[in-house]
Amino acid sequence: MTIYEGSNGSLNLFYNDTLISSFPLTNKKTFTRYKYQGHYIILKSMNEKLKLKQIIITLKSFCDLIYQRKINNQAIRKSDHQMFLSCFFGLFKLKQIDEDNILIMNKKKKKKINLS
């Protein structure tokens, strides 16, 4: 799994103790912006008159599908990672996933080597 690092670090999402997705953190792609995607998917679902229980089941189903693809070493498209991000933060917003499954890593500092 590639860790995608931006100018401000990376956001790494774990599901069932497995690293599923990594996203770069930059000045425009902030943690708050990523987190909003979960809020947005819940709002869109509620506008469609879906009940919270049905929303939770749907979000979990997609996350479980991506998890199965990951452990079976099957390809996961970029669009699936984006949808996983939205579903993950939707479940986080609904308190179905706790913050222990989110890892934010700061940007690695490059070491300077003195050759003298």
Length of the chain: 116
Decide: residue 50, CB within 10 A, 0-12 exposed, 13-18 middle, 19+ buried: middle
Mean pLDDT over each residue of the chain, to the nearest integer: 91
Please report the pLDDT score of residue 106 as a whole number.
85
Q: Give the pLDDT confidence of 26-81 residue by residue, as tens digits.
A: 999 999 999 999 999 999 999 999 999 999 999 999 999 999 999 999 999 999 99
Q: What's the whole-model pTM score?
A: 0.87
Query: At residue 112, does pLDDT exceed 70?
Result: no
| Residue from 70, 82, 54, 86 nearest 15 by CA | 70
Question: Three-state SS for 9?
Answer: strand
Residue boundaries of the structural domains of the chain:
32-104
